[in-house]
Amino acid sequence: MSLWLQAVLENFASGDYEHLRVNLMPMAPIPIPQCMMRELAFGERCCRELEKDRLFPIRFIWLMEAHEQRMFDLDPTRSSYIHPEKLLDHWNRASSDAEYRKSLEASGCQFDFVEKAIKVEDMGWIYIGEQFIEDFLQVEAVLGFAICFPDPLVKEGKPAFQAERLHRREEQKTDPSCPAIPEWWDVDEFREFYKDQIKSAEKIKILGAEKKNLAKWRGQLWRKSDIPVIWTQAITKGVSGFINRDHWHASFSLGGHDLHIDYVSLLAGVFTISCREYRIFVNQNEATRGGGFTGKDGSHPNMRNFPLAHVVDDYLIYADNPLQSWKQLEIGKLDYPNALSVWKLEKN
Would you list the DSSP string of 155-218?
Answer: SS-EES-HHHHHHHHHH----TT----GGGG-HHHHHHHHSS-B--SPPPEE--GGGTTEEEET
CB 306, CB 290: distance < 8 Å: yes
Angle between helix 132-143 and helix 58-72 axes, rounded to 10 deg = 30
pLDDT of 153 higher than 70: no
Q: How far apart are CA 14 and CA 16, in angstroms?
A: 6
Please give the single-letter amino acid code of residue 220.
Q
CA pair distance 26, 297, nearest whole angstrom: 9
Predicted local confidence at residue 174, as pLDDT: 56
Lowest mean pLDDT among 212-216, 284-288, 322-326: 212-216
pLDDT tops 60 at residue 243? no
Report the percentage of the chain scoring pLDDT > 90: 39
Confidence of residue 240 (pLDDT cuts 50, 70, 90): very low
Residue 199 has pLDDT above 60, yes or no: yes
Sheet holding 302-304, edge to edge: 232-233, 245-254, 257-268, 273-282, 285-295, 302-304
pLDDT for residue 134 = 82
Domain boundaries, the chain: 3-171, 182-345
| Residues 6 or more apart whose Cβ sits within 8 Å of residue 301 | 197, 292, 293, 294, 326
- Convert the pLDDT of each residue in 79-116 to its tens digit: 455 889 999 999 999 999 999 999 999 999 999 999 99
Q: What is the pLDDT of residues 302-332, one digit of tens each?
A: 888 899 999 999 999 999 999 998 888 877 7
The share of the chain scoring above pLDDT 70, in percent, equals: 86
Residue of 170 and 194 predicted with greater confidence:
194
Reference 261, options 228, 292, 293; nearest CA is 228
Arithmetic mean of pLDDT, 146-157: 73
Distance, CA of 266 to CA of 31 (rounded, Å): 13
The stretch 228-257 carries a mean pLDDT of 78
Q: What is the mean pLDDT of the chain?
A: 84
> What is the per-residue pLDDT for 155?
61
- What is the rounded CA–CA span in Å between residue 91 and residue 47? 19
Q: Higher confidence at residue 10 or residue 158? A: 10
The CA distance from 48 to 65, in Å, is 26
Q: What is the pLDDT of residue 312?
A: 95
Q: 106-132 pLDDT, tens per residue?
A: 999 999 999 999 999 888 999 999 889
